[in-house]
Amino acid sequence: QKEVEQDPGPLSVPEGAIVSLNCTYSNSAFQYFMWYRQYSRKGPELLMYTYSSGNKEDGRFTAQVDKSSKYISLFIRDSQPSDSATYLCAMSLTSGTYKYIFGTGTRLKVLA
Amino acid sequence: EAGVAQSPRYKIIEKRQSVAFWCNPISGHATLYWYQQILGQGPKLLIQFQNNGVVDDSQLPKDRFSAERLKGVDSTLKIQPAKLEDSAVYLCASGTGLRNTIYFGEGSWLTVV
């Protein structure tokens, strides 16, 4: 079993839709949770960062962490064609080593 | 603020040849990472430096890969000899330790033929 599982997609949605992207994990020691966006031929770009459980909102993006279920989500409201990219979840074990474990990424396509 | 710089952006080599990638992290970032990202997969950590010391190199194929970070700033990742399965994007990232977040460069795309 992989430490971090993420559906690779692709996920196609119409413009304006609400998108839900998810990751599950097996290691209950993860404390820090990140979402990165990666455009084709580019490096990953940090979107959202959450510590422990709870929700965090930034514009059209909302990140949720449910540690009891070992499940994290990224919601994108009013999706735009410019949101078409691969979305990677990442998790970190401790603040000491900052060792990040990444999911495989979900390819998202928002259709105009 | 300048981001993480990497070069070269693209490289094509034949198997058994050698290649080197260079990374300049964000100024002041003590932690530097090299990740390997194979097409369709998430980044996999190869090596992590804290200043110029190695924190984690458990997934670095040491028989062919080497990395150094002299003076705690720039870093070089070398592959010798390259294999077909080394075709991937090599991502450099850096972080301060604050907010436990890291920032990536654009990547160096390697094709081994």
The model's pLDDT over B13-66, given as tens digits with 9 standing for 90+, comes to: 999 999 999 999 999 898 999 999 999 899 999 999 988 899 889 999 999 999
Of A6, A42, A98, the CB nearest to B95: A98
pLDDT above 90: percentage of residues in chain A:
72
State the pLDDT at residue A88: 96
pLDDT value of residue B98:
64
Cis peptide before A14 (omega within 30 of 0): no
Answer whether A112 touches B (CB < 8 Å).
Answer: no
pLDDT of residue B99: 61
Q: Count other C-beta atoms under 10 Å from residue A49's C-beta.
A: 18
The kind and range of the H/E element at B32 are strand B31-37
User: Which residues fall within 8 angstroms of residue A60, CB to CB, at 6 or more apart?
Assistant: A76, A77, A78, A79
Residue A62: per-residue pLDDT: 97
Shortest CA distance from A32: residue in chain B: B100
Candidate ranges A32-36, A52-56, B85-89; pick with highest mean pLDDT: B85-89
Cross-chain residue pair B100–A105, CB shorter than 8 Å: no
